[in-house]
A and B are shown apart, each in its own frame.
Chain A
Amino acid sequence: MTTSEMATGPAAGAPANTARQAAVDTAVDAGPRPAGTAASLGREGTGGGTAAGNGAAPGRRAAAAVVDGSGTAGEGSARRTLTLAKALNTGLLAAMQADPKTVIMGEDVGKLGGVFRITDGLQELFGEERVIDTPLAESAIVGTAIGLAMRGFRPVCEIQFDGFVYPAFDQIVSQLAKMHYRSAGRVRLPVTIRIPYGGGIGAVEHHSESPEAYFCHTAGLRVVTCSNPADAHLMIQQAVASDDPVIFLEPKRRYWEKGEVDTTPLADLPADLRTGLHSARVVRPGEDATVVAYGPMVRTCLDAAEVAAAEDGRSLEVIDLRSLSPLDLDPVIESTRRTGRLVAVHEAPSNVSLSSEIAARVTEQAFYHLEAPVLRVTGFDTPYPPARLEDHYLPDVDRILDAVDRSFGY
């Protein structure tokens, strides 16, 4: 993105920041779209390594954080450097091995291995009865998964792209989410629905959306999203192992980013990691302001924190929510009480969004500690634009730092 584009773009009100995004772009994101692979490799070298297990460079340090967070990292663990996509693939493989009732179903998940190759090689290993190429019918993918779950199976559904999930909406919100409640706890539906989501890959329409708020609004669903390979590997196993339905959102533009992954199978991890899915995590400690994000925006926020430290001498604390429903806001509230300032960031539009909920709850629980209102940096309340406009639509370093600046203006 050039400076002149920015002048008419979303951060037009913050000229002091316009150069910052360009600096990041040049340093770490110079490749053509989809640029995730190059970006991740570039960025890993830029991290400061400030705090063991919780530093600024997301991929590698995130891996350490997941394991170190339990206090049990260590010997015997198998560490490999994987892309986020391969980490998901490896996690799914482990989940399939862990429970013979686990089945994978979706469009093109078999021979092709999925359009993003997340299920690559699994049909060859587990056969067509367990890795099922389905007809093109999203409502049926979820609806039949419900029936399979009632029969004792543990289905993992792939919805090919975010924008294709809506035909399955009834089956997700009225059927899958409510069956446990309607049956007074008698029916359990351990169904995972994987959805590649978010923009930034120059895709055609309906391939770049962020539908998380719809599902967070529905009781009975867990909604989680990973931001790095280590979390991807662990969280997909946790999701499959969960006896509750889980919407598992995969940040598709980060699929190609690499990071170190502990590939120890879930069953060999401590109990709190086996049953996780809930906890938010501080991915970069800081003192002056708090930035909360999830999924694809975690990386962008970490980049913003780098720039803020280098150019403004500001120390931003960055928190990765990981779980969107239920929200784990304790770390966010604790952090905001220390910093007095909070900026919430996501690609989804702002209206009735995750950041709406975060702002409301942080205001309720940290009111007397706030030096400024909770500010939000989000996609616009427009349909997702044509790909050549998406850099304007998607929050970037400049817009995040503009919000930080505004927060300090109060």
Chain B
Amino acid sequence: MFAGVTELVQLLTPDGRRTTAASASGPEAEYQAHVADVTDDELVGLLRDMTIVRRLDDEGTALQRQGELSLWASLRGQEAAQIGSGRALGPDDMAFPSYREHGVAWCRGVDPLNVFGLFRGSSLGGWDPQEHGFALYAIVVGSQTLHATGYAMGVTRDHGEGAVISYFGDGASSEGDVSEAFGWASVFSAPLVFFCQNNQWAISEPYRRQSRVPVYQRARGFGFPSVRVDGNDVLATLAVTRWALQQARAGAGPVLVEALTYRINPHTTADDPSRYRPADELSTWRRRDPLDRLRTYLRARDVLTDELESSIAAEADAVAADLRARCLALPDPPEDSVFDHVQVTENSLVATERAAYTDLRGALL
């Protein structure tokens, strides 16, 4: 457990030990059952996922520094929260991200090139939400929780199999849309998991500026269950999200999961946290690194060898190198495409502007 934090589901301690035996009578026991079937190979798979998305994330920062991306929003520190929840999702489930969920995008099979293209300014989000069960990023934070609620109401109405998960952050928890989504999802018993990654900082504002109560306690007032999980514990996050999705699919209505984690890097590459964030806080959270604890656990059990770890790192490097090459090769969109897809049926004004601009460009050539 973390000092001063109660009611936190944790299955792997920061020093890489399983909590199962020690807390068999605690809340962990219930969630433990949801990962009882997870094999060592699957645990290695989770480590592989986290290693790759961290490597991709570093590539994003590097590409921004080199002027190839206009901005990058780093996920460092949140790998376990994203991979644990993302790997709990099934093919029929639908995820509604905010804008930092690159790890969830990875789990949903979205080509990271699309995410990089968004931050490069090549597109506004190039993936097909239906194909991947992963909606477009939502930069107006909180807005996506309502889309998720409506989608979940649709699942109820067409008797679908899946559940819906809506990501949002501690900052967005103050947005009116999130409160409206809580109310609606509850009233309509929507098959929806609200998944809050509380990384504790909304740019420069600490969580205490958002609320006097922890995120997860807010569900109580809306009449649905919630749980706080150690968001740097990929196993606990997987277990809790599986449980929450099961509740939702079973028709029990929404669940709120608060994954307590930490934003290790600046809010984005444009931010300077040294102006507002105490250095000792960062060092404390670095010691709770989500990758380290899984590595330690797997090493202690001789599942993870030097050789295996090297091969995972090499794979991550290869994925990043490939991504870098494809990112640098991304062509700018055709200039005429600025007029494309404003509406399903192109309207007369856009058509007129397209024709006039095409003529002008032709005349200038």
The interface of chain A, by Cβ under 8 A from chain B, is: 103, 129, 134-135, 137, 139-140, 142-153, 155, 167, 170-171, 174-175, 178-188, 219-220, 222, 242-244, 275, 278, 325-328
With CB as the reference atom, state the residue of chain B lying closest to A243: B344
Name A187's closest neighbour in chain B (CB-CB). B129
Interface residue B206 (Cβ < 8 Å from any Cβ of A)? no
16 inter-chain pairs at a CB distance below 8 angstroms, sorted by A residue, are A103-B157, A137-B184, A140-B180, A140-B184, A146-B147, A147-B146, A147-B149, A170-B140, A174-B140, A174-B143, A183-B124, A186-B129, A219-B350, A243-B345, A275-B345, A326-B347
B146 near A152 with CB under 8 A, answer: no
Answer whether A143 and B151 are a contact pair too, CB < 8 Å, given A244-B343, A326-B347, A327-B349: no
How far is A206 from B147 in the complex, measured between Cα atoms in Å? 27
Q: Which residue of B lies closest to A174 (CB)?
A: B140
| Distance A309 CA – B157 CA, assembled complex (angstroms) | 57
Interchain CA distance A123-B140 in the complex, whole Å: 34
User: Of residues B123, B136, B146, which shows the largest number of chain A Cβ atoms within 10 Å of its Cβ?
Assistant: B146
Q: How large is the interface on B (under 10, 10 to 19, 20 to 34, 35 or more residues)?
A: 35 or more
The residue that A186 contacts in the complex, of B130, B157, B347, with Cβ under 8 A, is B130
0/1 string, B91-133, CB within 8 A of A gives 1: 0000010000000000000000000000000011110111000
Q: How far is the CA of A143 from the CA of B142 in the complex (A)?
A: 10
Chain B interface mostly helix, strand, loop or mixed? Answer: helix
Question: In the bound complex, do residue A151 and residue B180 qualify as a contact, i.e. CB atoms below 8 Å apart?
Answer: no
Nearest A residue (CB) for B184: A140
**Contact yes or no, A147 B151, CB < 8 A:** yes
Chain A residues with CB below 8 A from B187, complex form: 135
B344 touches A188 (CB 8 A): yes
Contacts of A185 in B (CB 8 A): 340-341, 344
Residues of B within 8 A of A188 (CB): 344
Residue of B nearest to A137 (CB): B180
Query: Would B150 and A147 count as touching, CB distance under 8 A?
Result: yes
The residues in B between 140 and 158 inclusive whose CB is less than 8 angstroms from any CB of A are 140, 143, 145-155, 157-158
Q: How far is the CB of B166 from chain A (nearest CB, A)?
A: 10
A332 to nearest B CB, angstroms?
Answer: 13
* Contacting pair B147 A147 (CB below 8 A): yes
In the complex, the 8 A-B pairs of residues with the closest C-beta atoms, listed nearest first: A147-B150, A143-B146, A151-B154, A144-B150, A147-B151, A185-B341, A326-B347, A140-B180
Write out the residue numbers on chain B whose beta carbons fall within 8 Å of the beta carbon of A147.
96, 146-154
In the assembled complex, the CB of B222 is this many whole angstroms from the nearest CB of chain A, namely 11
Which one of B151, B341, B344, B347 lies within 8 Å of A148 (CB-CB)?
B151
